[in-house]
Chains A and B, each alone.
Chain A
């Protein structure tokens, strides 16, 4: 008997010795050691785990963790120009207020009655996103963009009844890795080249790779490298002509000013709602969504929960519940990947709903305009620096690729210098996209003032 408990711990009410004893007596035992008699003795731990002793008080815990976190230098203390899937946008106070409410923070799997608010807010999230992306069915959010894309691709392949998938070579390598892990071995994934000048999909390569084994053509708008996919209509048309489904990944914050993908042929839309009122959280704020039209052929393929409106027995009253909850048992096809339903990112879905309700159509339009204006200004000023140029001249949203090849310095070196000046330089693309050489992707949003951008320009000017 080498392990002892912790008496009277604030998180364990019944660890008060008298209460513990009383309860043990009620079940005919004398000590807590007599519990767990079903666990064989060979695997019972005989000594304490080698973990640090508990802090003696909440105060000490707080000081300790705050001390650790002080070793971080965040985007609150530096000028940040990183994007690449996780974005720094302004988070309205009301978003943090709502998702900090204890009821939402600590609810989980209650029913449509006693967790009514949870069901309604998620139904509203689905509905608000539906307006943004101009589709009719949106899921209760999943893990992140890459999971949403993976699932959307699998859904598309089930609808098309084919296992070939085409993805753009311009996409994020990490995202591609997630998709591959999720979709293989059942699906075959091929990359379609990008046009070296525009960054958009190479239509000739697309047409060459399209055949009747291809079930899904996936592309993104904006493209990972920042520019808009100018060939979107042609890609969707080619996909449909070949009998494939068209799956499009978007950044929802663009959709106040950019047209919804359905207008150029998307069958399934996916993306990440982190830009909608969620802090970056070191990558912990990601939250993926998928959207389709209200056709059972699609709806029945969603593996996530879908909340819909329903009646109650009280006339005039309505409530919210699961739509076709057993649909995950469906799947008449060989790819019966009975994808799973589980805990994902509901709180972020609620937050994105609050953001959209607060921003309204005007707010979404304004934020899109501000972002594009700021980003274009930054791109122009930066490309005016000596030996620096814009790698692609295609219109972009908030991210653009700067070419530093002529400067004689690597992006890594440049970013180290910027860091000394409390600036986080753009993402180094030289590893993932070797063809680009020393290029970096800079992200400029509505949080950047003219002063911030000018500071960056001045700093780079010094460094180069």
Chain B
């Protein structure tokens, strides 16, 4: 028995679980039951009409064609599919750049599963909800302290809805001042998340884009030319997804204010700034946080989530109702303050995504002010450590601010690799999967050519980061020595290379099993 050889960090032996698991309908066996449902008490059933009260046209004549499967088979099916999903629990999550996938502490999940959280109805009498109301109130206050804002709402259920919340605040503010028709433009940058344009569109705004200057900052001269009496607001992320922090941000917010506009901060990349700088101090009137990114709540395959929106006090009366307040003795919902006709009204039913807020609360309490500061510092340290190591590679480069630090994440370019080997970023992405790694390119369109966007956050250890870097190096070397290998990657993931050519063709796409059966059998 020799000592195990751990000299190479790269997991060449990795293979993701591959079950070739059929689609659930294919498991159906007539007669099988997944669960027995309780019947009404016999005395009740005999004394009422039940479904017979339905008029004929509302009586369901054919049962829905759901599959019939016994319970252990249902469980096995989904347990296998879980194995075929590379959750953050099982991999080194550096490759989902801009998503800030960090460790979601299990204790927080367990707390959110307690019946005093899960079995709460949102319309219960306030006296029965004091616990969750206190948690939401306090989290609100913490977010204010972290951002410098005066009040938050937890109604927006995701980042994009958070941006919609901010766009709605801008709209409400100007409508109240009678300037809504005049103030119909929002300025943003091309690197902003597509939602930074899409959401304000929903509120009727026109979007003016700024191109970056050679350093990667929004071009100030272009900005000056863009700002005028129609400007309602400036929406921007800082740092941008490239990792470049605009050190001239104060100049921008100042000019907007001079022209009577508002400044809205997309804080999707806030993880690298906690305790270091605050939105309000940079001149922003409102901001939003992704609780499922910066504040550790689990991503859930894409939600549930929360895009907490905060604002300065002069905007409080436009926030979605009700606001959560404390009168010294108890917590209560205030329907008055934000009741003016120009306020947003509501973005979501009920009072926000409570379990997500609870998990964020617990996370903040586990870290305290020093911990949050450490989160930002370590995240940026991890990012710049990775940045230095990757930039030493011949085939990797990163546009903008040469030699300067990047905050939270970085968008690299593999253009040299592509030109020299014909292997591009999409190929690298598929090959990285053979080692159990996620890897992300960029939003479309790819402004940075052959983009690679990586974000370690504070979660990985130095060893984890080194493993990711070593794996990238291994794959880059392969591109030079064996580019053919990439043609059919991945080889050790759950399936082989996709052929998505038909996914834009109405004759060929099938969004449901019944469509597939209709078209292909």
Contacts and interface: CB of A to CB of B under 8 A. Distances in A.
Q: Do A and B bind each other?
A: yes
Contact of B355 (A75, A128, A282): A282
Interface in A401-448: 415-416, 419, 424, 427, 446
Interface in A316-374: 317-319, 321-326, 328, 336-348, 350, 353-354, 356-370, 372-374
B305 interface: yes
Contacts of B347: 178, 181
Given A105-B104, A344-B158, A15 B58 contact: no
Contact of A134 (B64, B197, B509): B64
B275 A49 contact: yes
Interface stretch (A157-165, A205-213, A239-247, A304-312): A304-312
B380 A358 contact: no
A306 B510 CA distance: 10
Nearest to B101: A108
A86 B123 contact: yes
A44 B351 CA distance: 34
Contacts of B374: 5-7, 9, 12, 15
Contacts of A58: 107, 366
Interface in B193-214: 194-195, 197-199, 201-204
A286 interface: yes
Interface centre among B301, B349, B364 (most CB of A within 10 A): B301
Contacts of A132: 64, 66
A117 B493 CA distance: 12
A462 interface: no
A194 B494 CA distance: 54
Given A22-B462, A340-B160, A309 B118 contact: no
B373 interface: yes
B176 to A, nearest CB: 15
Contacts of A310: 498-500, 502-503
Interface centre among B43, B44, B78, B276 (most CB of A within 10 A): B78
A98 interface: yes
Interface stretch (B5-13, B20-28, B223-231, B413-421): B20-28
Contacts of B373: 3-6, 48-49
A38 B85 CA distance: 38
Contact of A279 (B111, B119, B378, B462): B119
Interface in B452-500: 458-462, 464, 488, 490, 493-500
Contacts of A107: 85-88, 299-301
Given A40-B247, A344-B303, A360-B66, A106 B88 contact: yes
Contacts of B201: 336-338
A170 interface: no
A100 to B, nearest CB: 8
A30 interface: no
A61 B368 CA distance: 12
A259 B142 CA distance: 49
Contact of B116 (A9, A12, A70, A337): A70
B159 A138 contact: no
A461 interface: no
Contacts of B33: 360, 362-363
Nearest to A139: B511
Interface string A177-217: 11011100110000000000000000000000000000000
B35 A92 contact: yes
Nearest to B463: A13
B366 A75 contact: no
A106 B375 CA distance: 19
B492 to A, nearest CB: 10
A64 B365 contact: yes
A411 to B, nearest CB: 12
Given A101-B82, A108-B101, A346 B194 contact: no
Contacts of A68: 131, 134-135
Given A228-B54, A370-B38, A177 B346 contact: yes
Contacts of B250: 40, 42-43
Interface string B315-357: 0000010000000000000000000000011111111111110
A11 B459 contact: yes
A402 B168 CA distance: 37
A19 B385 CA distance: 12
Contact of B134 (A71, A118, A123, A343): A71
Contacts of B204: 185-186
A376 to B, nearest CB: 4
B349 to A, nearest CB: 5
A144 interface: yes
A32 B381 contact: yes
Interface centre among A27, A76, A103, A118 (most CB of B within 10 A): A103
Contact of B41 (A39, A309, A424, A450): A450
B277 A43 contact: yes
Nearest to A361: B63
B125 A424 contact: yes
Interface string B363-399: 0111111111111111011101100110000000000
Interface in A53-82: 53-55, 58, 61-62, 64-66, 68-78, 80, 82
B130 A72 contact: yes
B521 interface: no
9 contacts: A11-B375, A13-B464, A15-B374, A72-B128, A116-B495, A117-B81, A178-B348, A280-B118, A323-B511
Given A39-B277, A178-B348, A340-B194, 14 more contacts: A13-B462, A92-B34, A103-B83, A107-B87, A113-B494, A116-B495, A123-B23, A282-B350, A308-B511, A328-B198, A341-B194, A361-B64, A376-B49, A419-B127
Query: 7 smallest A-B Cβ distances: which pairs?
Result: A283-B350, A54-B368, A342-B160, A346-B302, A283-B122, A347-B300, A71-B131
